[in-house]
């Protein structure tokens, strides 16, 4: 087990080095492009000139490269029948990958996120994890050396993700780059393990963070929260609302009432004026899950229900709360997509076409959790004990159908992972 964890974190460290090298190469490429663009402008531009900046060009190139890597999907190599094909099976957008990402906020390469050092520290303390890296310690030292301070929340960009296995559970290590110019360590890269399922998120999408801190919930107000199937206590509450997207995410929506606000005595505008520096946001609210069901209204029933209500109180952070009636699709739509408008259908056609080709058949379906292959001694060896994050083109197709990919980089990272897993 320790070897698997070490291997995953070594891969993350190697990814960090690669990202740093890629960042230097990208900066040089951008300088060359800016120089070329300036020369064209000095020369009068012409019909072929473009108003796209280097970021727009790089995004489009990434989408085109991913499209070309997967091929155009000719049927010439496909020897089977299209009846009951994998294409139809994935059309509903289901995404039962059983991965570390199921049931919570999921970070993809290229995403803008917010890192919460206090939440990361609270998770490691609660799990009595003394082995995992504590990146906030070095970040605090470096910030102090630069005459600043590490804030309660730091905007970052996900530059790379690597995976390892810890006691049969997939662990994702994120390469994050501090992205806010106001941070004294802006552009610095660091490693942080992503929160596993059922753990309060300490790396969350920036759009979710910004939307959540701009709204204060009143005590007694009804709210809604998405709870992973892995969250302790969530399954005990009755009346959880479900939709197809929620089931695909590995959880359900639950109703609750706000019981208390830890920032109730503090200036109400502080989170608006200083959203990343103000304190008191982590687990700001205490909520009580609303119990469903009916039955006898006798004293014993009421006493049992009161005890259940006490047991089902929980401290949560603002980004875990939504207005009543929120759907999974609505929550996911909070994060704007950076895919060019024509990219998603083109990538979908490429993935479908690739799944019809004989040379892609090994990549087409994602191995199930119980799948096993004989090792050299003929003993069955579970696939998911060797491969940290099983992934196939079927899941990529379902993710495209659901709008999961918010950037070309995220799609390309999945395509690369599929190939690595099959190597």
pLDDT, residue 309, reads 55
What's the number of CA atoms in the CB half-sphere (13 Å) around residue 182? 9
pLDDT, residue 71, reads 36
Are residues 278 and 401 part of one domain? no
pLDDT, residue 287, reads 95
Query: Could you write out the DSSP letters of every residue in 176-222?
Result: EEE--TTSTTTT-EEEEEPPPTTS--SEEEHHHHHHHHT--PPTT-E
pLDDT, residue 93, reads 39
Are residues 326 and 418 part of one domain? no
Query: Could you write out the DSSP letters of every residue in 371-394?
Result: -EEE-TTS-EEEGGGT-SS---HH
Are residues 347 and 330 part of one domain? no
CB proximity list for 308: less than 8 A, separation 6 or greater: 236, 291
pLDDT, residue 70, reads 38
pLDDT, residue 167, reads 72
pLDDT, residue 319, reads 95
Backbone angles phi, psi at 386, to 5 degrees: -105, -35
Q: In the block, which residue shows the tokens 């990814």?
A: 15
Are residues 353 and 308 part of one domain? no
pLDDT, residue 11, reads 58
Are residues 358 and 330 part of one domain? no
Average of per-residue pLDDT across 69-85: 36
The b-or-e profile of 5-35 (16+ CB within 10 A means b, else e) is beebbebbeebbeebeeeeeeeeeeeeeeee
Instruction: Indicate whether 229 pLDDT > 80.
Output: no
Are residues 110 and 214 part of one domain? yes
Residue 396 lies in a domain: yes
Instruction: Indicate whether 157 pLDDT > 50.
Output: yes
Residue 401's Cβ-count burial label (10 Å; 0-12, 13-18, 19+) is middle
Are residues 330 and 346 part of one domain? no
Average of per-residue pLDDT across 186-207: 90
Per the structure, how many domains does the chain have?
2
- Give the Cβ contact number of residue 244 at 10 Å: 14
Are residues 143 and 109 part of one domain? yes
Instruction: Indicate whether 259 pLDDT > 90.
Output: yes
Rounded to whole angstroms, the Cα distance separating 259 from 221 reads 8
Instruction: Indicate whether 72 pLDDT > 70.
Output: no
| 276, 180 contact by CB (below 8 A) | yes
Residue 224 lies in a domain: yes
What's the number of CA atoms in the CB half-sphere (13 Å) around residue 13? 8
- Give the Cβ contact number of residue 56 at 10 Å: 13
Residue 348 lies in a domain: yes
Q: How confident is the model at residue 389 (pLDDT cuts 50, 70, 90)?
A: confident
Residue 31 lies in a domain: no
**Closest to 194 (Cα-Cα) out of 9, 6, 378, 355:** 9
Residue 213's Cβ-count burial label (10 Å; 0-12, 13-18, 19+) is buried
Q: Looking at 43-47, 144-148, 174-178, 184-188, which range is the least confident one?
A: 43-47
Q: Which helix (H) or strand (E) holds 114?
A: strand 112-115
Instruction: Indicate whether 45 pLDDT > 70.
Output: no
Which residue range is the domain that position 131 belongs to?
A: 104-233+244-295+304-334
Q: What is the pTM of this model?
A: 0.70
Q: How confident is the model at residue 54 (pLDDT cuts 50, 70, 90)?
A: very low
Q: What confidence tens digit (pLDDT) does each residue in 261-276 have?
A: 999 888 888 888 999 9
Q: At what angle do helices 54-70 and 343-356 cross, to 10 degrees?
A: 20
CA Rg value for the chain: 24
Residue 372 lies in a domain: yes
pLDDT, residue 209, reads 95
CB proximity list for 318: less than 8 A, separation 6 or greater: 212, 213, 215, 217, 281, 284, 285
pLDDT, residue 373, reads 81
Average of per-residue pLDDT across 193-216: 89
pLDDT, residue 28, reads 52
3-state secondary structure of 254: strand
Instruction: Indicate whether 353 pLDDT > 60.
Output: yes
Instruction: Indicate whether 23 pLDDT > 70.
Output: no
Are residues 228 and 124 part of one domain? yes
Q: Tell me what percent of the residues of the chain surpass a pLDDT of 70.
A: 64
Instruction: Indicate whether 51 pLDDT > 50.
Output: no
Residue 81 gets the label, from left (phi > 0), alpha (psi -120 to 50) or beta, of: beta
Q: Of 79 and 335, which is predicted with more confidence?
A: 335
Residue 341's Cβ-count burial label (10 Å; 0-12, 13-18, 19+) is exposed
Rounded to whole angstroms, the Cα distance separating 162 from 174 reads 7
Are residues 282 and 166 part of one domain? yes
Residue 24 lies in a domain: no
Q: What confidence tens digit (pLDDT) does each residue in 293-324 have?
A: 444 455 555 555 555 555 689 999 999 999 99
Q: Of 374 and 283, which is predicted with more confidence?
A: 283
Q: What is the mean pLDDT of the chain?
A: 73
Backbone angles phi, psi at 224, to 5 degrees: -135, 145
Q: Looking at 165-174, 232-241, 375-384, which range is the least confident one?
A: 232-241
CB proximity list for 274: less than 8 A, separation 6 or greater: none
CB proximity list for 303: less than 8 A, separation 6 or greater: none
pLDDT, residue 15, reads 58
Q: How confident is the model at residue 38 (pLDDT cuts 50, 70, 90)?
A: very low
pLDDT, residue 322, reads 96
Residue 42 lies in a domain: no
Rounded to whole angstroms, the Cα distance separating 283 from 106 reads 20
Are residues 368 and 260 part of one domain? no
Distance from the first to the final alpha carbon of the chain: 22
Residue 87 lies in a domain: no
3-state secondary structure of 288: strand
Q: How confident is the model at residue 77 (pLDDT cuts 50, 70, 90)?
A: very low
3-state secondary structure of 403: coil
Are residues 198 and 317 part of one domain? yes
Q: What confidence tens digit (pLDDT) does each residue in 95-151 have?
A: 444 343 433 346 888 999 999 999 999 999 998 988 888 999 999 999 999 999 999
| 276, 151 contact by CB (below 8 A) | yes
**Closest to 166 (Cα-Cα) out of 13, 12, 382, 7:** 7
Average of per-residue pLDDT across 82-93: 42
Which of 318, 334, 350 corresponds to the end of one domain? 334
Tokens of 219: 């005590």
CATH code of the domain covering residue 350: 1.20.920
């Amino acid at each position: 087990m320790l070897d698997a964890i070490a291997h995953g974190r070594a891969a993350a460290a190697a990814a960090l080095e690669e990202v740093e090298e890629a960042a230097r190469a990208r900066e040089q490429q951008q300088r060359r492009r800016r120089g070329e663009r300036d020369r064209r402008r000095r020369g009068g531009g012409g019909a072929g000139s473009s108003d796209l900046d280097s970021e727009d060009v790089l995004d489009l190139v990434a989408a085109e490269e991913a499209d070309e890597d997967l091929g155009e999907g000719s049927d010439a190599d496909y020897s089977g029948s299209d009846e009951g094909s994998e294409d139809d099976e994935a059309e509903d957008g289901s995404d039962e990958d059983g991965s570390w990402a199921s049931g919570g906020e999921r970070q993809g390469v290229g995403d803008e996120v917010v890192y919460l050092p206090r939440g990361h520290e609270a998770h490691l303390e609660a799990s009595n994890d003394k082995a995992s890296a504590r990146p906030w310690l070095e970040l605090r030292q470096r910030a102090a050396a630069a005459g600043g301070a590490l804030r309660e929340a730091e905007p970052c960009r996900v530059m790379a993700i690597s995976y390892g296995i810890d006691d049969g559970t997939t662990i994702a290590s994120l390469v994050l780059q501090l992205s806010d110019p106001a941070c004294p360590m802006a552009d610095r890269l660091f490693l942080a393990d992503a929160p596993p399922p059922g753990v309060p998120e300490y790396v969350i999408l920036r759009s979710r963070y910004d939307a959540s801190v701009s709204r204060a919930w009143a005590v007694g107000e009804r709210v809604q929260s998405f709870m992973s199937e892995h969250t302790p206590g969530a399954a005990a509450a009755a009346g959880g609302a479900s939709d197809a997207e929620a089931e695909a995410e590995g959880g359900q929506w639950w109703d609750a009432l706000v019981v208390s606000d830890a920032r109730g005595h503090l200036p109400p505008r502080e989170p608006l004026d200083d959203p990343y520096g103000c304190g008191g946001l982590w687990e700001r609210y205490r909520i009580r899950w609303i119990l469903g069901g009916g039955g006898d209204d006798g004293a014993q029933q009421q006493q049992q229900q009161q005890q259940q209500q006490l047991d089902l109180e929980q401290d949560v952070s603002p980004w875990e709360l939504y207005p009543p009636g929120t759907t999974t699709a609505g929550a996911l739509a909070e994060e704007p997509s950076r895919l060019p408008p024509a990219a998603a259908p083109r990538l979908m056609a490429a993935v479908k076409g690739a799944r019809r080709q004989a040379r892609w058949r090994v990549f087409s379906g994602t191995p199930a959790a119980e799948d096993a292959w004989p090792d050299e001694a003929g003993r069955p060896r579970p696939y998911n004990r060797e491969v940290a994050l099983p992934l196939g083109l079927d899941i990529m197709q379902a993710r495209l159908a659901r709008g999961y990919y918010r950037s070309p980089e995220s799609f390309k990272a999945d395509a690369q992972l599929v190939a690595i897993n099959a190597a």
